[in-house]
């Protein structure tokens, strides 16, 4: 029996304790009980992200020192999709989806306009066992700050195994 895997919502969080592994100084990553980054994606409503700005900039391979100081501490991003729908991850013909986004970054001092993309793409890897893994990547561009691009790529795993007794 084939079970449909529909992705309607996706949540991911990076705990605050990870900053110690980065060897970061506490000026940029103060000890808090809030996650360094928390993202909620609702494929009807949009993307809501909250996190430490300095962590998000430093976590990217391509960053500029001037980006770190453009915002201080925690920020919230609220982005809406131009068009939206639930994503079926078991469909063998789909290799990926792209959702254009726009919205705002709130650093609790001002609002900055953002634009970006959310990309869901299938990873077709095999390592003895065929994996049904997808990646959710999101990019956003700070329209108020010249050439500030931030990207995160997060894994989504789909279980193809169906227990016949749990129908």
For residues 106 and 30, what is the distance between their CA atoms, to the nearest angstrom? 19
Which ranges constitute the DSSP H helices of 1-140? Answer: 53-58, 65-68
pLDDT tens digits along 14-68: 887 655 545 555 555 555 578 889 999 998 888 999 998 888 888 887 777 777 7
Higher pLDDT, 28 or 92: 92
- Backbone CA torsion sign across 79, 9, 160, 156: positive
Angle, CA 111 vertex, CA 106 and CA 113 arms, to 5°? 105
8 Å CB contact between 105 and 114: yes
Angle, CA 135 vertex, CA 130 and CA 139 arms, to 5°? 165
Domains identified in the chain, total number: 1
Which ranges constitute the DSSP H helices of 9-138? Answer: 53-58, 65-68
Mean pLDDT, the chain, rounded, equals: 77
8 Å CB contact between 114 and 86: no
Range of 125's domain?
6-21+34-166
The verdict on residue 115 lying in a domain is yes
The verdict on residue 55 lying in a domain is yes
pLDDT of residue 34: 82
For residues 80 and 24, what is the distance between their CA atoms, to the nearest angstrom? 32
pLDDT tens digits along 110-133: 898 988 889 988 876 655 555 678
Section 55-82 average pLDDT: 83
Q: Above 60 in pLDDT, residue 164?
A: no
Q: How confident is the model at residue 76 (pLDDT cuts 50, 70, 90)?
A: very high
The verdict on residue 1 lying in a domain is no
With residues binned 3-state (H G I as helix, E B as strand, rest as coil), the percentages for the chain, rounded to 5, are: 10, 45, 45
The verdict on residue 151 lying in a domain is yes
The verdict on residue 26 lying in a domain is no
pLDDT of residue 17: 67
The verdict on residue 28 lying in a domain is no
Cα–Cα distances (Å) from 75 to 28, 84, 121, in that order, read 13, 25, 27
For residues 30 and 73, what is the distance between their CA atoms, to the nearest angstrom? 9
pLDDT of residue 71: 81
8 Å CB contact between 135 and 121: yes
């Amino acid at each position: 029996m084939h079970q449909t895997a529909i992705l309607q919502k996706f949540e991911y969080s990076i705990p605050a304790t990870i900053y110690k592994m980065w060897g970061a100084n506490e000026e940029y990553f103060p000890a808090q009980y809030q996650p360094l980054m928390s993202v909620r994606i609702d494929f009807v409503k949009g993307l809501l992200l909250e996190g430490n700005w300095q962590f998000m900039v430093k976590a990217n391979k391509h960053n500029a020192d001037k980006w770190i100081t453009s915002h201080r501490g925690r920020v919230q991003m609220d982005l809406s999709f131009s068009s939206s729908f639930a994503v079926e991850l078991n469909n063998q013909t789909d290799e990926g989806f792209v959702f254009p986004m726009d919205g705002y970054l709130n650093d609790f001092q001002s609002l900055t306009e953002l634009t970006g993309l959310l990309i869901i793409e299938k990873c077709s890897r095999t390592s003895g066992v065929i994996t049904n893994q997808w990646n959710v990547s999101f990019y956003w561009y700070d329209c108020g700050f010249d050439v500030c691009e931030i990207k995160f790529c997060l894994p989504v795993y789909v279980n193809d195994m169906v227990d016949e007794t749990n129908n």
